[in-house]
Homo-oligomer: A and B are copies of this chain.
Amino acid sequence: MAVYTDVAADELAEFLSQYDLGELLSYKGIAEGVENSNFLLHTSAGSFILTLYEKRVARGDLPFFLALMTHLASKGVNCPLPVKGRDGEALRELAGRPAAIINFLEGIWPRKPNVTQCAGVGQALAKMHLAGLNFAMSRANALSVSGWRPLFEAAAARADEVQPGLRVFLSDELDYLESGVWPKHLPEGVIHADLFPDNVFFLGDRLSGLIDFTFACNDMLAYDVAICLNAWCFEPDHAFNVTKARAFLNAYGRERRLSEAEQDTLPLLARGAAIRFLLTRLVDWLNVPPGALVKPKDPLEYVRKLRFHQSVNSVRDYGLSTSGLVV
């Protein structure tokens, strides 16, 4: 939630001269996205988002993200479409940073998602998974099981400052997840990997867009489902809402049926997703730079979510009640 880099009007005007976007009418730094600097542009051609990619995003990954959005948009997924300059390129440089313009999607992210919206995101996620199956590029998931131990080691010494006992709790969980249980043969494809409510826009209850593909990568499709269970199906008091989970999973399953193996593994994948966000939040929490414009998110929310998933016996605890297959 920050603008890291300001852009001078003359720099921006020169940058925009490489596009067919008409006259620049205004630009405002917007308080969305913790990784990058984002500006909402009004030009005589419409509204656009200008993103300056800050250093947490690897420059070499940007062609993947931009090509993926272009691919998904061409398949009918409601996601931002990168705007190409007259040279055919969507990626160039501004204020010393890689920069790209995407079209602006109207819509509002739900601060308190309702059941209908949870179903909407389930449907959209499955459609995105299907649309991504024939995307030609690939990118490894740096934040899958092998990426968690280094995060833990960066935070372990001070973890108990955040909550007594947290270090051992995390260490035990990591030992378990690294013990060979993590699945290897589930269906894979392009996953969003960060489909939290602030990355999904709605107009009323109608989903109008999926945004922010800067964590997108290739991994098990069911892992994306597990991330969404964490991101969408808990209440502000961290209680699991089985009605939302059922709506989410059923809507997903209507578009893309989860295999029995995927369903059986879902509680484990949800534990992995919980520790992944717990660890990155913990590292951020312990490393807030002085004068930071970003308020770190509370890692302890994910301790509670992880404990819930540890207590789950089967996918039925997520709201699927009958045959074991989503219908």
CB-based nearest B residue for A30: B28
User: How long is the Cα–Cα vector from A24 to B288 in the complex, in angstroms?
Assistant: 35
Residues of B within 8 A of A42 (CB): 47, 106
> Does A50 have its Cβ within 8 Å of any Cβ on chain B?
no
User: How long is the Cα–Cα vector from A77 to B67 in the complex, in angstroms?
Assistant: 46
Contact check, A8 vs B111: say whether CB atoms are below 8 A apart.
yes
Which DSSP category, helix, strand, loop or mixed, fits chain A's interface? loop
> Does A1 have its Cβ within 8 Å of any Cβ on chain B?
yes
Give the contacting residue for A293; candidates B6, B108, B295; CB below 8 A: B295
User: How long is the Cα–Cα vector from A49 to B229 in the complex, in angstroms?
Assistant: 35
Contact check, B1 vs A1: say whether CB atoms are below 8 A apart.
no
> Does A144 have its Cβ within 8 Å of any Cβ on chain B?
no
User: How long is the Cα–Cα vector from A276 to B12 in the complex, in angstroms?
Assistant: 33
Interface string of A8-23 (1 = CB under 8 A from B): 1110000000000001
User: How long is the Cα–Cα vector from A95 to B221 in the complex, in angstroms?
Assistant: 39
> Does A98 have its Cβ within 8 Å of any Cβ on chain B?
no
A180 to chain B, nearest CB (A): 41
User: How long is the Cα–Cα vector from A23 to B106 in the complex, in angstroms?
Assistant: 11
Contact check, A30 vs B30: say whether CB atoms are below 8 A apart.
yes
> Does A215 have its Cβ within 8 Å of any Cβ on chain B?
no
Report, nearest first, the 7 A-B pairs whose CB atoms are least far apart. Answer: A29-B31, A25-B106, A8-B111, A28-B30, A3-B31, A9-B108, A26-B106
A positions within 8 Å CB-CB of B? 1-3, 6, 8-10, 23-32, 40, 42, 47, 104-112, 201, 203, 288, 291-293, 295
- Other than A10-B111, A25-B106, A26-B107, give 16 A-B pairs with Cβ distance below 8 A: A1-B3, A2-B31, A2-B293, A6-B111, A9-B110, A10-B112, A23-B203, A24-B108, A28-B32, A28-B40, A29-B32, A30-B31, A40-B40, A42-B47, A291-B292, A291-B295
